[in-house]
Amino acid sequence: MSTLVLGLNHHRTPIEILERVALSVESQTALSTAALESPDIAEVVVISTCNRIEVYAEVSAFHGAVADLTAALTSVTGVAADDLVDHLELQYGEAAIAHVFNVAAGLDSMAIGEAQILGQLRDSLSTGQSTGAVGSGLNSLLQQALRTGKQVRTETGLDRVSRSLVEVGLAQAVAELGPLDELTVLVVGAGAMSALSATTAHRLGATVTVVSRTEDRARALADRLAATSRPIEELGEALSEADVVLSCTGATGIVVDLPSVAAAQVARAGRPQVYIDLAMPHDVAAEVGSLRGVTRLGLAELGSALGGGEDLAEVRAARSVVADAVTRHLGDRAAQVVVPTVTAMRAAAAEIVAREIERFDQRTPDLTEAQRAEVHLAVHRVVEKLLHRPTVRVKEMAVDGRITEYEDAIRALFDLHSGGA
């Protein structure tokens, strides 16, 4: 089996395409189920975030798996293959494994070093485990990638220097409206991203109000921050009172529409507002940005504002941690390939030892039990020492990618093809 990654992400896919293929939890499950119908795909994990939709798979055949994954993606999203093909990214083998580690570390995110991806990967892995879509291959890969992502954040300081999408949006709001501690921020939604938005705005000194369709969750979030919560029915009034609106609801349609914002502007007598839309697909109507006094910042604008970051010492340190972890994982994975050969070699040797010891025991009935035990131990020690070097060497060569001839030689020497000596 080999690892394959197929999907779309912010590097080469326009936001409008990402919005069209955004997956609900049910759609992720449907995509996983459709992919596993392929005879070439053994395991699947689906990742869907605000800036990527990717499928991680363990496959037995490259071309068949790619064709079947593409068909599953187009079927579940309803987006034609012709609209996706120019944007699809594909990694295979070692490149796919390295990609997964980089994603977990936050090095492939729109906001380098962002921490939300760890939770999203963990949730996707958990879903795959509960539905039976994940086996030993992807479980090992993702568990190690998650540990590496946590290590990056603990050891490199990347999380302290990375600027989140929320922080970038708020920084632009400050540039247009003035100090944040003099502004009122409305957070629409009460999920994980909304909680991050509300917490960040509160930490930076803003007066925060939370509005959500789930009133209990809005109240719970507001209580944690000593903020205010309002029911979704009061969204229009809340918009008119807010200087900055942060929205990330997970809804499938527009939440903040043009008439609502226009009415808010009338109520505000034209005082400027900034709308920061963190949702995928977007919550705030694109036309809102055309209103006088209103600035709308979507994921595309926020991503452009983030820019750079690649030359930071913390980023270089994170990449070093990831590179070491990928090398270890590839080594462990390669070593697993030769386990059957090593097991067969040792089984063949054990069979020979057992036969010879039985013959020895039959020919030496006068030995004491202590003497017999000493001879048995000596034979086992000699065989173990003889097998140690071939065992170590075959694993080393597997890691180096030079295993085929050596493995064939071991099988020929021990007659493993015919079932032993």
Which residues are the active-site residues? 50
By residue count, the chain amounts to 421
Q: How many Å apart are CA 392 and CA 396, to the nearest integer?
A: 6
At residue 183, what is the residue type? L
Q: How many Å apart are CA 365 and CA 405, to the nearest integer?
A: 45
At residue 132, what is the residue type? G
What's the token pair of residue 54? 């990717």
* Cα distances (Å, whole numbers) of residue 215 to 212, 219, 234, 255, 300: 6, 6, 11, 16, 30
Q: How many Å apart are CA 245 and CA 253, to the nearest integer?
A: 17
Q: Which of 113, 89, 94 has the alpha carbon at shortest distance from 103?
A: 113
Q: Which residues contact 143 (CB under 8 A, 6 or more apart)?
A: 125
Q: How many Å apart are CA 262 and CA 166, to the nearest integer?
A: 24
